[in-house]
A and B are shown apart, each in its own frame.
Chain A
């Protein structure tokens, strides 16, 4: 007898909790998007009504969530293989793949229209391009074809501060481009450090990560090179009007440590790394998270000091 009152645990496909839809939007990625877009909006030299600013950030975050849902729709097959991602709503069967597509497309349209109505259509166009770039150019087209996938995906993740800036000013300027550059150059060392110590996952999923296609030695070298290229971008931002002494101090200190850690990762061989369970690579990965939040946090502090009359 089929009995719905039975307490037997069953997997009910497509009958997700509300939290599963939140998980579909990659909330941890959204938190980074909210923070960087907020900084872009606040440091921009144009006053924004708090309600309009709040709405703009909310729909930029929703747009990021929509592109996350589209990513989970397309990548369900490789997510099911990787240990890190197999518990996601689509591969675990809690949300149907086509439902993820519908949620992604629906939220994309909603976020673009609402950002256009709340702020301006220039920022809405940028948000539309970012969703297209992440979902189509990165996820569908290039992620499975090139070992430079991380670099390309990093570009999509780097757009939020520009969108925040454009939502406030209506135009793009050098400060916004440097904020984009900071996230863009930061992404490869961050994710390649992760790929060094999560080594089985990408290989199993047959995603052409640099560690798989060019080897771990080359990945270490690329981490070092991108870390060097990151420094002038981070310090270049210090020369613009949005940065002050707080940013200069943070950028100076954090870039020395970042480059030092990247150098240590480059100089290590696999035997040494295996022996201490990739302690230095894990250290670089963790430090890179703090690095990004510190840089954008410093911009926010400088803006607060300038607003309070204590700017430098």
Chain B
């Protein structure tokens, strides 16, 4: 039998799904904002990834 009427069960699930969606969206916004803040602090964005990077190589002192 097709469900044609909205039951309280559906309303609750819809509310929960919207809540989870908004939480995930908020989390993405926070991670993005945090990334911007970290980059603006001036930390190096380079790292070792199997390619020689002289700019982040610590030179040996004699």
Could you tell me which A residues sit within 8 Å of B by CB distance?
A: 4-7, 12, 15-19, 21, 49, 51-52, 55, 58, 117-118
Q: Which residues of A contact B3 (CB under 8 A)?
A: 4-5
B41 in contact with A12 (CB, 8 Å): no
Known contacts A5-B3, A5-B4, A51 near B16 by CB under 8 Å: no
A52 in contact with B37 (CB, 8 Å): yes
Q: Which residues of B contact A15 (CB under 8 A)?
A: 9, 12-13
A118 to B27, CA, bound (A): 13
Known contacts A5-B5, A55-B30, A49 near B19 by CB under 8 Å: no
A6 to B9, CA, bound (A): 11
A11 to B33, CA, bound (A): 41
In the complex, per-residue mask of B1-41: 1 if CB is within 8 Å of any chain A CB, else 0 = 00111010100110110111000000000100110111011
Q: Which residues of B contact A118 (CB under 8 A)?
A: 34
A118 to B33, CA, bound (A): 11
Which of A5, A6, A16, A19 counts the most B-chain CB atoms under 10 A from its CB? A5
Q: Which residues of A contact B19 (CB under 8 A)?
A: 18, 21
A16 in contact with B16 (CB, 8 Å): yes
A17 in contact with B16 (CB, 8 Å): yes
Q: Which residues of B contact A19 (CB under 8 A)?
A: 15
A49 in contact with B7 (CB, 8 Å): no
Taking the nearest CB of chain B, how far is it from the CB of A86, in angstroms?
21
B34 in contact with A51 (CB, 8 Å): yes
Known contacts A5-B3, A49-B41, A55 near B34 by CB under 8 Å: yes
Known contacts A18-B16, A18-B20, A117 near B9 by CB under 8 Å: no
Q: Which residues of A contact B5 (CB under 8 A)?
A: 5
A16 in contact with B12 (CB, 8 Å): yes
Q: Which residues of B contact A49 (CB under 8 A)?
A: 37, 40-41
Q: Which residues of A contact B30 (CB under 8 A)?
A: 55, 58
Known contacts A4-B7, A18-B19, A58-B30, A51 near B37 by CB under 8 Å: yes
Closest A residue, CB atoms, query B10: A4
Taking the nearest CB of chain A, how far is it from the CB of B50, in angstroms?
24
B12 in contact with A52 (CB, 8 Å): no
Ranked nearest first, the 8 interchain pairs of A and B with the lowest CB-CB distance are A18-B19, A51-B37, A5-B5, A18-B16, A49-B37, A51-B33, A17-B12, A4-B7
In the complex, per-residue mask of B36-48: 1 if CB is within 8 Å of any chain A CB, else 0 = 1110110000000
Taking the nearest CB of chain B, how far is it from the CB of A203, in angstroms?
36
Closest A residue, CB atoms, query B6: A5
Closest B residue, CB atoms, query A53: B37
19 A-B contacts (beta carbon < 8 Å):
A4-B3, A4-B9, A5-B5, A7-B7, A16-B12, A16-B16, A17-B16, A18-B15, A18-B20, A19-B15, A21-B19, A49-B37, A51-B33, A51-B36, A51-B37, A52-B38, A55-B30, A117-B34, A118-B34
